[in-house]
Amino acid sequence: MLIRYVTDRIRRRFEHGVAVAYFRDVVRPKILRTAPITGTTDGRCELHVLTSRQDWLNLIWALKSFYHASGRKYRLCIHDDGSVPDQGLDHLRRHFPDGRLILRKEADQRVFAELAPYPRCLQFRKTNLLAPKLFDFAVYLESDRMLLFDSDLLFFREPTALIQSIEDPACQINVFNSDCADDAYTVTPTVAAEHLGLALQKSINSGLGLIHRSSVRWDWIEEFLGIPGILDGYFWRIEQTLFALSASRFGVKLLPKEYTLYLTPGLGDRPFRHYVGHIRHLMYGEGIRRLNRDNLLRRLSQR
């Protein structure tokens, strides 16, 4: 049994090759030696992200690569899903001292009270792992504009199109990166049209985007959760569907092609990449490898 256990551990560690294991296990923790990101007080926008036990270290890479590449200092609010260990929480506080860290117990009490008049919303918040992205982010938002952000993003140069949307006062619609699929939702455009009279924007990915405060409405989400079949499917598809429905009703556009989610290796000249679970190994063997080659760790240490 012991031999089998050790063999399985070794096999899993090197499942995607030696390079992935090296950049995941040796290079990735070096981000903890870099200087904190301070001065995140720009109220034009507030970045909100949900993280977990598995992702908090990736998140430090995501946030530091964003703040470095963009040159911006937007406000920051990190939401713990309840699984981040104390060590991870301590590192997040140290590396982002001017951001807010919202613990799950604290959030539950406040958000449950907010959603009490909306029973479908309340039940969804209690049962879906990603529901805090819809509800907690809005409850704790202290800006009129929110940068919706996932823990598995990396930035390689300034995301110009995204920044322009965030900082353009005339941009009064929500903006998302595109998904690799037209229909990564739990409802079809036909169902959305029949039940809501709504033209559902295809290909919205809820990993990165500009969200206007006024587009997040509990009464809308309560209505959407009543659509037959909307809760059937992967938990992440449900959350993404609710963002897509809200944005389609409020007004929405997609970021340019270089922001689109894709599942094959290779970065080209893209400003960022979203390393979803299916390609998480590429976050290490490709993304962190590129940032390490570009001396991000040294540059962050010199701040």
Q: Report CA dihedral (173, 241, 277, 69) to the nearest 10 degrees.
A: 10
Other beta carbons within 10 angstroms of residue 93's beta carbon come to 13
Task: Give the orientation angle of helix 119-127 with respect to helix 104-115, to 10 degrees.
Answer: 160
Q: Which residues contact 139 (CB under 8 A, 6 or more apart)?
A: 107, 110, 111, 114
pLDDT at 3 over 80: no
**SS3 for 104?**
helix
- For residue 120, how many other CB atoms are within 10 A of its CB? 17
Q: Which long-range contacts (CB under 8 A, 24 or more apart) does 193-199 make?
A: 195/227, 195/228, 196/223, 196/224, 196/227, 196/245, 196/249, 198/245, 198/248, 198/249, 199/248
Pick from 64, 35, 36, 38: which is nearest to 49 by CA? 64
Q: What is the pLDDT of residue 236?
A: 86
pLDDT, tens digit (0-9, with 9 covering 90-100), for 16-74? 789 999 999 999 999 999 999 999 999 999 999 999 999 999 999 999 999 999 999 99
Interval 68-96: pLDDT, tens: 999 999 999 999 999 999 999 999 999 99
Residue range 146-171: mean pLDDT, rounded: 98
Mean per-residue pLDDT over the chain, rounded:
94
What span, in angstroms and rounded, lies between the C-alpha atoms of 23 and 29? 9
6 pLDDT above the threshold of 70:
no
Mean pLDDT on 254-268: 96
Return d(Cα 250, Cα 262) in angstroms, integer.
Answer: 26
Would the pLDDT of 273 be above 90?
A: yes
Query: pLDDT-based confidence at 5, cuts 50/70/90?
Result: very low
**Coil/strand/helix, residue 111:** helix
Q: Is the pLDDT of residue 192 over 60?
A: yes
The per-residue pLDDT for 91 is 98
pTM for this prediction: 0.94
Domains of the chain: which residue ranges? 17-301
State the pLDDT at residue 174. Answer: 98
**In whole angstroms, what is the distance from residue 230 CA to residue 239 CA?**
10
Q: Under 8 Å CB-to-CB from 276, ≥6 apart: which residues?
A: 152, 207, 261, 263
- Superfamily (CATH H level) for 17-301: Spore Coat Polysaccharide Biosynthesis Protein SpsA; Chain A (3.90.550.10)
Lowest mean pLDDT among 3-7, 17-21, 37-41, 245-249: 3-7
Residue 2 has pLDDT above 80, yes or no: no
